[in-house]
């Protein structure tokens, strides 16, 4: 059963708003994800699967964790929903709330930065207790030099929330690109001029440079800013943000505990285990960020406004269409990564220090991550459905249970003699478990029954299987012609087959996209 179409005026407004936001975010995500692949390719070709990459990955987790805990988790769960409400009202109240949150965040980030620099050895021992003395010392030094970046990344995240609340998506969409460019510049420009013993610090310099780029990129979007040097913690808007964020902080704490466990287990395994997982995860994050993040952030402001207006029908329609669009794009991406895993890994990473043996390791890890990819994408949409309803406690309690599922899966499989495979399958189980539990619990908040999601899942799965079959078959036939030909020809033919099957099966999300593009073209032509 398909979703009944909304009224013409409502449909036009919905399509224009979501399509415009999604296109801008998608363009930014395409750029950032491709630059992310280039970044990881540069790291792989410069340092291969090595102790240096293990140390950098562990060290960079410290500023990333602080940012996630203090800023990133609050953006979608608390900042954008509350900022969106005030953005439509009194400008002075909007900036009073925004200024307070900026000042509070900077104070917290500065304190956390100083403590992390002071206690860097303890931090590394907690994150990667299995490192030997030399790698641990390298990671500790990296943490100390990298920590100032967390303040700039935090400011960038706050600016992103402000601009999203005002329906300004262009500049925030390219912040990840700016960050990746910084790391690429650091690795490419500095590495050749550094002593071999300190060459990995070129990546650290790149992180700091990238974080600065993120802030400067978004500053033009704050024209007309009315920033105030205040800290009004009693303001209703500020108190609501803090109340909404408290459960998120708890959920992120669960995630941090899971990451600490994951990194500690990996640091006790063979050298390069963390690096292998890093490179495989990069390929997983590419479609996840490109599809799930773009669609989710595009619809969140609309979902928040529909909830505030009491438009439950509009909310259900928006969320259901978002999920169907995610399925339309993430299922073929998963099938394509599976069928073309070897040529993709070889094309992205091989060169200089990274050879065919390393490709085999990353391909094996990638295939074990893939089962959790569709679940992680759908989970992102469900999560934002809860956040739009100002329900932040439930999904973050679920995160605690999901981390527990990871631990049970990983330790059980390690008991059967598995190593890195146990950790990766544990992550896949965590993503799938989180999505399933959240889907069940969502029924008490919003119903997605009768909106055609099941039909979309079946149709897109059938089309994705056809894609995988064509891609795998052509890959085998074209093997003598090299990786580039395998990827381009097999990938192109499989994509044509996928969308052809979707058209035959009349996949609703594909029709939605076609309609959105047609409306934009008519509007540009004065139609």
DSSP secondary structure letters along 2-54: PPPP--HHHHHHHHHHHHHHHHHHHHHHHHHHHHHHHHHHHHHHHH-SSHHHH
Q: How many Cβ atoms are within 10 Å of 211's Cβ, its own excluded? A: 26
403 lies in a domain?
no
Angle, CA of 365, 366 and 367, to the nearest 5°: 95
Concatenated DSSP letters for 48-75? -SSHHHHHHHHHHHHHHHHHIIIIIHHI
pLDDT greater than 90 at residue 210: yes
Count CB atoms within 10 A of the CB of residue 196: 7
In whole angstroms, what is the distance from residue 283 CA to residue 348 CA? 9
Domain for residue 304, yes or no?
Answer: no
Residue 77 above 60 pLDDT? yes
**CA distances to 131, 220, 242 from 95, in Å:** 46, 17, 17
56 or 92: which leads in pLDDT: 56
C-alpha to C-alpha distance for 131 and 138, rounded to whole angstroms: 10
From 19-23, 115-119, 166-170, 493-497, the region with the lowest mean pLDDT: 19-23
pLDDT at 525: 57
Q: What are phi and psi of 351, to 5 degrees?
A: 140, 145
Residue 242 has pLDDT above 90, yes or no: no
What average pLDDT score do residues 150-167 get? 86
Phi/psi zone of residue 507: left (φ > 0), alpha (ψ -120 to 50 degrees), beta?
A: beta
20-29, 52-61, 163-172: which has the minimum mean pLDDT?
20-29
Q: Which of 106, 169, 116 is nearest to 147 (CA)?
A: 116
Domain annotation covers residue 523: no
What is the pLDDT averaged over residues 181-200? 91
**Would you say 50 and 130 are in contact if contact means Cβ atoms under 8 Å apart?**
no
**Res 336: pLDDT:** 93
3-state secondary structure of 132: coil
pTM of structure: 0.80
Distance CA 53, CA 44 (A): 8
What is the structure's pLDDT at 255?
80
d(C-alpha 492, C-alpha 486), whole Å:
10
**pLDDT reported for residue 187:** 92
Which of 24-28, 263-267, 327-331, 441-445 is least confident?
A: 24-28
Q: Dig out the tokens for 404 from the structure.
A: 């527990």
Positive/negative CA dihedral, 271, 274, 279, 284: positive
Q: What's the rounded Cα separation, in Å, for the pair 368 and 340? A: 14
Predicted pLDDT of residue 418: 92
Q: Is pLDDT at 94 greater than 50 in this prediction?
A: yes
Q: Residue 126 is encoded by which pair of tokens?
A: 């907690």
Question: Do the Cβ atoms of 29 and 293 come closer than 8 Å?
Answer: yes
Helix 491-505 with 508-524: angle, nearest 10 deg: 100
Structural contact between residues 274 and 266, judged by C-beta atoms closer than 8 angstroms:
yes
pLDDT at residue 509 is higher than 80? no
User: CA-to-CA distance for 53 and 167, rounded, in angstroms?
Assistant: 38
Residue 65 belongs to what domain range?
51-267
Quick one: pLDDT at residue 146?
94
pLDDT at 33 over 90: no
The answer to whether residue 131 is domain-embedded is yes
Give mean pLDDT, residues 146-167.
87
Question: What phi and psi values does residue 4 have, to the nearest 5 degrees?
Answer: -65, 140
pLDDT band for position 366 (cuts 50, 70, 90):
very high
Residue 78 included in any domain = yes
pLDDT score of 17: 56
Total tally of structural domains belonging to the chain: 1
Lowest mean pLDDT, pick from 2-16, 206-220, 327-341, 364-378: 2-16
CB 338 within 8 A of CB 373: no
Residue 22: what pLDDT?
58
* pLDDT for the residue numbered 147: 92
358 is a domain residue: no
> Tokens 């003395």 map to which residue?
133
- 376-424: per-residue pLDDT in tens? 998 888 887 887 777 777 887 888 889 999 999 999 999 998 999 999 9
> 406, 262 in Cβ contact below 8 A?
yes
What Å distances lie between residue 227 and 75, 164, 230, 296, CA to CA? 19, 17, 9, 28
Kindly tell me the number of DSSP H helices and DSSP E strands found in the chain: 23, 0
Segment among 86-90, 252-256, 374-378 with least mean pLDDT: 86-90
Please say if the pLDDT value at position 466 is more than 90: yes
- Does residue 311 surpass a pLDDT of 90? no
Q: What is the DSSP string of 108-124?
A: HHHHHHHHHHHTHHHHH
Give 421 or 13, the one with higher predicted confidence. 421
* Crossing angle of the two packed helices 80-87 and 91-118, in degrees rounded to 10: 150
Q: Decide if pLDDT at 468 tops 90.
A: yes
In this prediction, residue 202 has a pLDDT band, given cuts at 50, 70 and 90, of: very high
Q: Confidence class of residue 522 from pLDDT cuts 50, 70 and 90?
A: low
For the chain, give the percent of residues with pLDDT over 70: 89
DSSP string, 347-406: HHH-BTTB-HHHHHHHHHHHHHHGGGHHHHHHHHHHHHHHHHTT--HHHHHHHHHHHHHH
Indicate the burial class of 224 (C-beta count within 10 angstroms; 0-12, 13-18, 19 or more). exposed
Look up tokens 């030399």; give the residue: 134
pLDDT tops 70 at residue 26: no
Mean of the pLDDT values across residues 181-209?
92
Judge whether 469 lies within some domain.
no
Beta strands in 429-511 (DSSP E): none
Question: CA-CA distance, 323 to 381, in Å (whole number)?
Answer: 6
Per-residue model confidence (pLDDT) at position 293 = 65
Residue 516 pLDDT exceeds 70: no
Q: In this structure, what DSSP letter does residue 89 have?
A: S
Residue 527 has pLDDT above 60, yes or no: no
pLDDT averaged over every residue in the chain: 84
Q: How confident is the model at residue 230 (pLDDT cuts 50, 70, 90)?
A: confident
Residue 188 is classified by DSSP as: I
- For residues 117-146, one letter each, b for 16 or more C-beta atoms within 10 angstroms of the residue's C-beta and e for the rest, the string is beebeebbbebbebbeeebbebbbbbbbbb
CA trace torsion 211, 213, 217, 218 (10° rounding): 20
Using the predicted structure, report yes or no on whether residue 349 has a pLDDT greater than 60.
yes
Calculate mean pLDDT across residues 27-37.
82
293 found inside a domain? no
Check whether 249 has a pLDDT greater than 90. no
């Amino acid at each position: 059963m398909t979703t009944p179409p909304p009224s013409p005026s409502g449909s036009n407004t919905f399509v224009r708003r979501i399509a415009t936001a999604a296109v801008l975010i998608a363009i930014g995500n395409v750029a950032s994800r491709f630059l992310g692949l280039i970044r990881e390719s540069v790291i792989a070709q410069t340092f291969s699967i090595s102790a240096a990459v293990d140390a950098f990955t562990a060290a960079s987790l410290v500023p990333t964790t602080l940012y996630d805990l203090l800023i990133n988790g609050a953006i979608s769960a608390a900042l954008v929903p509350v900022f969106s409400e005030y953005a439509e009202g009194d400008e002075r109240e909007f900036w009073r709330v925004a200024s307070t949150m900026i000042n509070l965040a900077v104070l917290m980030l500065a304190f956390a930065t100083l403590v992390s620099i002071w206690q860097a050895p303890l931090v590394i021992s907690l994150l990667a207790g299995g490192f030997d003395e030399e790698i641990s010392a390298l990671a500790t030094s990296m943490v100390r030099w990298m920590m100032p970046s967390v303040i700039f990344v935090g400011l960038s995240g706050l600016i992103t929330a402000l601009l999203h609340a005002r329906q300004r998506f262009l500049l925030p969409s390219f912040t990840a690109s700016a960050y990746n460019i910084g790391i690429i510049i650091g690795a490419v420009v500095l590495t050749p001029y550094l002593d071999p013993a300190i060459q990995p610090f070129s990546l650290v310099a790149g992180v700091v440079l990238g974080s600065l780029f993120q802030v400067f990129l978004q500053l033009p979007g704050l024209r007309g800013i009315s920033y105030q040097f205040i800290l009004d913690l009693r303001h209703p808007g500020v108190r609501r943000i803090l109340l909404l964020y408290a459960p998120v902080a708890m959920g992120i704490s669960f995630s941090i505990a899971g990451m600490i466990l994951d990194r500690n287990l990996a640091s006790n395994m063979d050298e390069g285990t963390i690096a292998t997982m890093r490179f495989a995860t990069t390929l997983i994050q590419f479609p996840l960020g490109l599809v799930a993040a773009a669609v989710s952030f595009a619809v969140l402001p609309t979902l928040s406004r529909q909830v505030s207006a009491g438009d439950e029908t509009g909310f259900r329609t928006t969320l259901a269409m978002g999920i169907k669009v995610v399925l339309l794009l993430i299922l073929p991406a998963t099938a394509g990564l599976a069928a073309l895993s070897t040529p993709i890994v070889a094309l992205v990473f091989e060169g200089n220090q990274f050879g065919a043996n390393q490709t085999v390791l990353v391909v094996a890890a990638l295939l074990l991550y893939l089962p959790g990819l569709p679940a992680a994408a759908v989970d992102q949409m469900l999560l934002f459905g809860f956040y739009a309803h100002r329900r932040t406690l439930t999904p973050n309690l679920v995160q605690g249970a999901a981390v527990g599922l990871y631990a049970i899966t990983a330790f059980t499989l390690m008991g059967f003699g598995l190593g890195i495979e146990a950790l990766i399958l544990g992550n896949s189980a965590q993503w799938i478990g989180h999505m399933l539990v959240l889907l069940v619990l969502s029924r008490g908040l919003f119903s997605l029954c009768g909106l055609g999601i099941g039909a979309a899942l079946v149709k897109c799965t059938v089309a994705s299987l056809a894609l995988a079959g064509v891609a795998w078959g052509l890959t085998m036939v074209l093997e003598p012609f090299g990786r580039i030909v395998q990827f381009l020809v097999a990938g192109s033919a499989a994509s044509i087959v996928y969308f052809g099957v979707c058209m035959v099966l009349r996949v609703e999300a594909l029709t939605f996209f076609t309609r959105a593009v047609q409306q934009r073209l008519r509007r540009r032509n004065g139609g």
